[in-house]
Chains A and B, each alone.
Chain A
Amino acid sequence: MMELLAQTGLNAVYAASYISLVAVGLVLIFGVMGVVNFAHGELFMAGAYAVVALYADMHLPFFVAVPIGMLFVGMLGLLMEWGLFRPLKDNPLGGLVASIGFLMILQSLAVMGFGVRMEHIPPVTQEVWRITDKVGVPVARLYVIVAAVVLLSALWYFLKRTRFGWALRASAQDPEAAALQGISITQTARIAMFIGAALAGVAGALTAPLVSVNPHMGHSVIVTAFIVIIVGGVGSLEGAIVASVVYAFVHTFVTTFSDGVLADIVGLSLMLVVLIVKPTGLFGSADRA
């Protein structure tokens, strides 16, 4: 029993890792640009398909395919900023509606390029990092955990310790006051969009060999990410990470000891309870919402 608990805990850490990468990117984009990016799940999907194309089809090494996929999706983010969110920034719902359109374009492109069937991706490694005889983490999952810890720590350092990080936070809190300090809001929007998209892309790229890759895989990811950022408090990066961990543990344990459908119900109930008890989310403050 102890072993099952420990193993389930490790599985939850893996789930928390990729969920937090996606959710943090979503929060960053919302914070700096004020746009709810509905296409965020499809950015995750695009990262996974980059690995399909580069690693499975073109046989490039996995660790070459992943960073290329991350950059590629970051560029998609820049394209969205330039083509959709900047021209529509005076329209409160414009960005949201445009991102839904972009979501459909990305899905259709994936269908046209790769077909609707599930992609088969050869495993990167079959090795398992054993802690005891019965408890261990597949190394492919370990990559995701390490990437999440490294990238989110780097993001934290960037936001708290560098002048462009301060500029990003300042733009998120008060764009007009930020401009008065010499900060170009267009530039901070571009940076936020690149980072946010790249984080979703790298999550998709790293998990591609571990999940079923198909053009509609972004859907469940975005639903999870929305639950997480609402529980964490919309606009709070710390909240998104903490809520990712909480959600991943609850979801993984319920899935293991009961079933996946019940886990989804429990996850949504968790969100409802948080919204009733603390409507601004765990880390949200009223003036941010």
Chain B
Amino acid sequence: MLLEMRKIAVNYGKINAIRDISIAVPEGKIVTIIGGNGAGKTTTLRAMSGMVPIVAGEILFEGKRIDHLPAHKVVAHGIAHVPEGRRIFKDMTVEENLRTGAFLRRDKPEIERDLQQVYDRFPRLRERRVQRAQTMSGGEQQMLAIGRALMSKPRLLLMDEPSMGLAPVIVEEIARIIEEINAQGLSVVLVEQNAELALELAHHAYVLETGDTAMEGPAHELRGNEHVRAAYLGL
């Protein structure tokens, strides 16, 4: 397993946000976490990247415990997090955003090469490289957020609601990009409200309900499950 979460609990004040959640991410796969509002999807992802402290359980990445590390140290282990709402640096240019993604790296020639790769993958970012990030459309900002995460050269990409607020045609484009990135060997954890999209992309899926794991299994099996179809796919 690339990443293993074992019996994790996170509290916000006295409130139990998630409890007893276990998630395993195999190397090279896309794992999705779906569920309704307040089910604990984002909290689970934030626990993985060290953004919220866990009160129980452990998180292992490549066999090493990372659950005691602050967020800025988790990145160094090879986990990049594309946060909900993109959270790009609005007053910085596109290229400054991307280079900030490589903050911890010192391998200059490879950084330049990876930058060109990001531009090849997202030609619109190259066109806008000296433009302030704020001036871009939602889809372009999402691409920038993904590109910024890729610049840290991660082995695991955490994505929180990448389809949120985007037009269907852009969502298709983002989905294709996620598949492409994964095909090149990067493992992905995808948190999505759009369960249909998530189950189509993922190999394995977890369904969270009020802070607990309600179901888990291969994505194609969950797509056929009665409960999932009724509650999350609207079928």
Residues on A facing B (Cβ under 8 Å): 163, 166-167, 169-170, 173-174, 176-185, 285, 287-288
Contacts and interface: CB of A to CB of B under 8 A. Distances in A.
Nearest to A166: B100
B89 A182 contact: no
Closest CB pairs A-B (n = 10)? A182-B75, A177-B87, A182-B104, A179-B71, A179-B72, A166-B100, A173-B89, A180-B81, A181-B103, A184-B72
A174 B104 CA distance: 18
Contacts of A170: 89, 92, 100
Given A166-B96, A177-B87, 9 more contacts: A173-B89, A173-B90, A174-B89, A177-B88, A177-B89, A180-B71, A180-B81, A183-B100, A183-B103
Main secondary structure on A side of the interface with B: helix
B89 A176 contact: no
B211 interface: no
Interface string B118-156: 000000000000000000000000000000100010000
Contacts of B75: 180-182
A178 B81 CA distance: 11
27 contacts: A163-B103, A166-B96, A166-B99, A166-B100, A167-B103, A169-B91, A169-B96, A170-B92, A173-B90, A174-B87, A174-B89, A176-B87, A177-B87, A177-B88, A177-B89, A178-B89, A178-B100, A179-B72, A180-B51, A180-B71, A180-B80, A181-B152, A182-B72, A182-B73, A182-B76, A182-B103, A285-B91
B72 A185 contact: yes
Contacts of A181: 72, 75, 100-101, 103-104, 148, 152
B83 A180 contact: yes
Contacts of B148: 181
Interface of B: 49, 51, 70-73, 75-76, 80-81, 83, 87-92, 96, 99-101, 103-104, 148, 152
Contacts of B72: 179-185
A169 B92 contact: yes
Contacts of B100: 163, 166-167, 170, 178, 181, 183
Contacts of B90: 173, 287
A130 to B, nearest CB: 44
Residue with the highest number of chain B CB atoms closer than 10 Å, among A166, A176, A181, A288: A181
B91 A173 contact: yes
B47 to A, nearest CB: 14
B152 A182 contact: yes
Contacts of A288: 91
Contacts of B103: 163, 166-167, 181-183
A280 to B, nearest CB: 13
A177 B99 CA distance: 14
A253 to B, nearest CB: 33
Contacts of B80: 180
A134 B103 CA distance: 54
A159 B76 CA distance: 23
Nearest to B51: A176
A179 B70 contact: yes
A170 B104 CA distance: 14
Contacts of A176: 51, 71, 83, 87
Counting chain A CB atoms within 10 Å of each CB, the highest count among B72, B80, B83 belongs to B72
Nearest to B99: A166
Nearest to B133: A173
A180 B52 CA distance: 12
A177 B92 CA distance: 13
Nearest to B70: A179
Nearest to A164: B103
Contacts of A163: 99-100, 103
A173 B148 CA distance: 15
B152 A177 contact: no
Nearest to B91: A173
Contacts of B92: 166, 169-170, 173
B110 to A, nearest CB: 15
A168 to B, nearest CB: 10
A285 B88 CA distance: 16
B49 A180 contact: yes
B87 to A, nearest CB: 4
Contacts of B152: 181-182
B75 to A, nearest CB: 4
B107 to A, nearest CB: 13
Contacts of B49: 180
